[in-house]
A and B are shown apart, each in its own frame.
Chain A
């Protein structure tokens, strides 16, 4: 089988997922020939970097690809890839924009956000993914006989070691034509900076949709104040405009690396957990004993935050005298 991996790269560096995709490809088919595809402008160092982990690297270097626009790449790749190719991408912002359409244009199977690969039975892959915000997992079959586009959840194949393959770089830049598109990239607007930078906080009291109402946010602030630490939140709290965006933890918010993280009324969606680095000590309070957060937390309490938090604040205040 020939497997391709689309490498996300920024500022001359490959994303962490570059190695993860190499590992995922081997897990899908240990015999497979695995080719990395690196597209961009001025990408020699990226190609060199990833070549260690792949059989070969296809370099697509073009000024028009300086910004990785999925409407452009989404039309280039189906022409460039051989028929029935299996293409892996990391399930993040570029893939969500490009990958499903690629599968249609390549007339191949599509499966998104794979969290584990159980193997191959003939041309049918058995893959694990999650549904309902990570509350249940599913086994899925994906028929690879007409090729496939598969997106892999970032982090699930995280590894320290580089599979020593040591491939060469093949320049494919001359094989592509930049297509006309109906969507033009204008600019990237950076996220607003808030009053605190939670990415440096040592302790975070973090609240989720379990807080139920805007008025209740106060009890979180009171706890944080009593503890003398910063507060943060999950995305729905920001969507509802109950806290500013700069306090959102997660892939589309801030990456934090505290020593202690309190997850209060937060279910533990992977986009939330994706923003928590450095293996903090996690204390979770949630009224649903099956909430995924309990699987990653160190200490769990099954209970109502509206009842527990005010009492906890009082105890902390007592302690401090």
Chain B
């Protein structure tokens, strides 16, 4: 089976700081890969290379086995890669509709087609079942959960093949987090591949088929969730050591 996305030997340096050092990960259709590591491990930087926000110094990206150049966010979007950034990347002064469609507005001629965008945004956000009374208020006036919902809506509206979620539930309460879990499972069933970055081990064990751990810009390794315990994963995150006697996990998890 060819992976949906393969990042191979990606390196990236910020000044004197080697943020990524020969990192390789892959993702298959319909699976969730949990990306774990301490703050500053390089998780956000890695996925920003994939989403076109940063350019790697070296390394390759393949989509469906084809090598691709991802130079800009549009390049990533054209490959069906959508990202929910840790910072949400919302324009706080614009309303929910404008944010969902930012950079990809629907137009009639040169004129923005506000009605269509509002209808479609409403449909998409309803799917997440977080109450947003008015889509026409600046998102600055919304709660953390509502803002996160808008950021998620923005990513799922455009029918991603590969979805990157950088701490998608950080601002959510338990109930809203549950809804995001349901969404992830639904998207997975539709064959979307998902990179999930999270600090919550329970979340990751609940959702991820495989777990990739990074430390100090390097890859510690990738394991099948079913093969490891929380302590094994903590050992990878903190100590940077692979648990003993685990299978190599560069193929999708065998269905249980």
Check if A and B associate. Answer: no
B interface, CB within 8 angstroms of A: none
